Amino acid sequence: MKLITPIFSLVAILALVPVSVLSQTPDFVALTKQLKPAVVNISSSKKNHNSDKRNFFDDFFNAFTGDKNTESLGSGFLISSDGYILTNDHVVDDASEIRVQLVGGKTYPATVKGIDQKLDLALVKIDTNEILPTVKLGSSEQLEIGEWVMAIGNPFGLEQTVTVGIVSAKGRVIGAAPYDNFIQTDASINPGNSGGPLFNTRGEVVGINTAIVAGSHGIGFAIPIDTAKRILPQLKKTGHVNRGWLGITIQKVSDDLAATFKLTARTGALITSVERSSPAQRAQLQRGDIILAFNTIKINAISDLPVLLNNVTIGDLVELSIFRNGITKTFTIKVDESHTHGDAAPPATTPRNPLGATMMDITPELQLRLGLLADTGVVITSVQANGAAANAKLQPGDVIVEFNNQPLANQSDLTTCLDNSASSKLQRLFIQRGEGLFFTTVRLQ
């Protein structure tokens, strides 16, 4: 009886599994035979590494070579029969020589035709008279969480390695670049898989394998193929990518900031500056506006906005849903082409206040001595331990530009604002720190 019980248990478990799951297990053997010929091994001889150009992916790519100035290995896949190959930028970045090995061992020199460091993508090409096998580019947008996927690449230099798994998540933000929007998969990805394809069960490329979490198992990340497809024509034509530009800087909306703006939910992207002569200024956007939606798509986090902007074309008209002074309005903006573009603090001269800090008015002399960028406002010269300013993580040298949306010309303006705000302890400040601008909140004491 004890020997039979597990069998009955197994039958019972299988009875609970949908028939579709049991009958639709992918034929990975057939897929592997079909897809392997279009996946290539890329080796590159690196130039002396420039530490100023170091990016998020360098540690991943060089994890097993141990030397950034010697031979490095990665993967790629053929997207055209005349030799165009898609891979990661960090696979070929700063390479003095690039070689591509096809299935069967034939090796060709390759040249870089286009790079996009912000997305970590590169387009390289080999020259041959052969008609080369290619892959079909699918849709990452239609990819479902839980769907089977297969990775082919050269992990640790082991050529044409196949691993399978599922899509664990979509839209992952891992701090790699301004356009983070990764597919997470548990299909095994290791150093050397970089630039290789992630396939769905129809044999279509849905992602470009790019990164792993150090020391983790079963957590890999791939760039969505839809993101790559949008920039491929530019990479092929010009070798680089021109992106849409609004001319704003943004920050996260915290719970406290949402409360001071009287915003019911902690969503959206808070505008901290609007560049002169920018599309945003022409559309009359303002500092302190909160972008709630982009072309009707809700902005849940500030990382959503760059991704959405990356998906539009220069010259497009986009609609932004803006929360301003308790009212939601719609603004239409024409997307433009992106632009590339210390002495010690003096002694405090004012008594402490409910902020728990000492401050001074900005003067031309003080502006020069401290290297301040702001023309008006109140500069913090010291912060009291455990005071309101300290709890808000304000620092000496910070300039309070606005208090609850009220511009400050001097300490007198700040005193007036403090006097008028006695009924509410939670206040919103607009701060300049170095070259950065941001909103924060402070609880008065």
Does residue 19 carry a pLDDT above 60? no
Distance CA(362)–CA(344), nearest Å, equals 15
Question: Letter for the amino acid at 24?
Answer: Q
Q: Does residue 121 share a domain with residue 47?
A: yes
Residue 2 lies in a domain: no
Q: What is the pLDDT of residue 224?
A: 95
CA–CA distance, 40 with 99 (Å, rounded to integer): 10
| Structure tokens belonging to residue 58 | 């360098």
Whether 117 and 202 map to the same domain: the answer is: no
Nearest partner of 273 among 256, 255, 251, 257, judged by Cα: 251
Average pLDDT over residues 339-344: 41
DSSP line for 202-219: TSEEEEEEEEE-TT-SS-
Confidence at residue 287, expressed as pLDDT on a 0 to 100 scale: 92
Summarised one tens digit per residue, pLDDT across range 268-301 is 999 998 888 899 999 999 999 999 999 999 999 8
Taking the C-alpha atoms of residue 49 and residue 255, their distance in angstroms, rounded to an integer, is 42
* pLDDT, mean over the chain: 82
Report the C-alpha gap between 43 and 61 in whole angstroms. Answer: 12
Mean pLDDT over residues 416-428, rounded? Answer: 77
Burial 301-313 (b: 16+ CB within 10 A, else e): ebbbbbbbbbbbe
Give the Cα separation of 372 and 363 in Å (integer).
10
In a domain, 345, yes or no: no
80 lies in the same domain as 165: no
Which residues pair with residue 165 across a beta bridge?
149
Backbone angles phi, psi at 35, to 5 degrees: -100, -25
**Least confident segment among 33-37, 152-156, 256-260, 331-335:** 152-156
Q: Do 265 and 323 fall into the same domain? A: yes
Does residue 54 surpass a pLDDT of 80? no
Split at pLDDT 50, 70, 90, the class of 366 is low
DSSP string, 141-179: TT--TT-EEEEEE-GGG-TTEEEEEEEEEEEE--SSSTT
**pLDDT average, residue stretch 53-74:** 51
pLDDT at 397: 84
- Residue 293 within any structural domain of the chain: yes
- Which of the two residues, 429 and 11, has the higher pLDDT score? 429
Distance CA 16, CA 19 (A): 9
CA–CA separation, 70 and 28 (whole Å):
35
Long-range contacts from 112-115, C-beta under 8 angstroms, 24+ separation: 113/84, 113/235, 113/236, 113/239, 114/234, 114/235, 114/236, 114/238, 114/239, 114/240, 114/241, 115/89, 115/235, 115/239, 115/240
CA-based end-to-end distance of the chain: 73
- In a domain, residue 15? The reply is no
Q: What is the pTM of this model?
A: 0.67
Structural domain range at position 228: 136-238
Give the per-residue pLDDT at 321.
Answer: 96
Q: Are residues 330 and 361 in the same domain?
A: no
Are 219 and 261 within one domain?
no
pLDDT score of 322: 96
pLDDT at 158 (0 to 100) = 80
Residues 177 and 234 both lie in one domain: yes
Q: What is the pLDDT of residue 65?
A: 42
Comparing CA positions, the residue from 418, 364, 413 lying closest to residue 389 is 418
pLDDT at 368: 67
Neighbours of 216 (CB within 10 A): 8
Average pLDDT of the segment spanning 250-271? 91
Q: Are residues 218 and 306 in the same domain?
A: no
Active-site residue set: 90, 120, 194
pLDDT given for residue 193 in this prediction: 87
Verify that 170 and 226 share a domain, yes or no: yes
Whether residue 195 has pLDDT greater than 90 = yes
At residue 11, does pLDDT exceed 70? no
Place of tokens 């990016």: 55
Which of 211, 238, 265 terminates a domain? The answer is 238
- The pLDDT confidence band at residue 114, using thresholds 50, 70 and 90, is very high
Q: Considering its fold, how many domains does the chain have in total?
A: 4
Residues 210, 182: contact at Cβ < 8 Å? yes
Contacts of 16 (CB under 8 A, 6+ apart): none
Give me the mean pLDDT over the 343-365 stretch.
61
Q: What are phi and psi of 306, to 5 degrees?
A: -60, -40
Q: What is the mean pLDDT of residues 157-182?
A: 84
- Identify the band that residue 369 occupies on the pLDDT scale cut at 50, 70 and 90: low
User: Given pLDDT bands bounded at 50, 70 and 90, which one contains residue 352?
Assistant: very low
pLDDT range class, residue 5, cuts 50, 70, 90: very low
Here the CATH number for the domain that contains residue 200 is: 2.40.10.10
* Spatial distance between the Cα atoms of 414 and 417, rounded to a whole number of angstroms: 5
Q: Which of 121, 188, 183 is nearest to 151 (CA)?
A: 188
**Residues in the chain, overall count:** 445
**Do 179 and 201 fall into the same domain?**
yes
Q: Report the number of secondary-structure helices (H) and strands (E) in the chain.
A: 12, 27
pLDDT attached to residue 349: 40
The predicted model gives 62-71 an average pLDDT of: 47
Same domain for 375 and 319, yes or no, is no
Percent of the chain with pLDDT over 70: 80
Distance CA 214, CA 72 (A): 18
- Strand stretches in 309-421, DSSP E: 317-324, 327-334, 336-337, 357-361, 378-383, 399-403, 406-407
Residue 351 lies in a domain: no
Name which residue leads in pLDDT, 167 or 3. Answer: 167
- Domain boundary, last residue among 183, 208, 238: 238
The pLDDT-based confidence of 133 (bands split at 50, 70, 90) is very high
Domain closes at, from 69, 92, 126: 126
CA diameter of the chain: 92
User: Predicted confidence band at 99 (pLDDT cuts at 50, 70, 90)?
Assistant: very high
- Give the model's pLDDT for residue 48: 53
Cα gap 202→136, rounded to integer Å: 10
Q: Is residue 342 part of a domain?
A: no
Q: What is the pLDDT of residues 214-237, one digit of tens each?
A: 666 678 899 999 999 999 999 999
3-state secondary structure of 326: coil
Residue 180 lies in a domain: yes
Q: What is the CATH number of the domain that holds 296?
A: 2.30.42.10
Same domain, yes or no, for 411 and 436? yes
Whether the pLDDT of residue 345 is over 50: the answer is no
Candidates 120, 121, 340; CA nearest to 245 is 340
The reply to whether 347 falls in a domain is no
Most confident by average pLDDT, 132-141, 269-278, 345-354, 430-439: 132-141
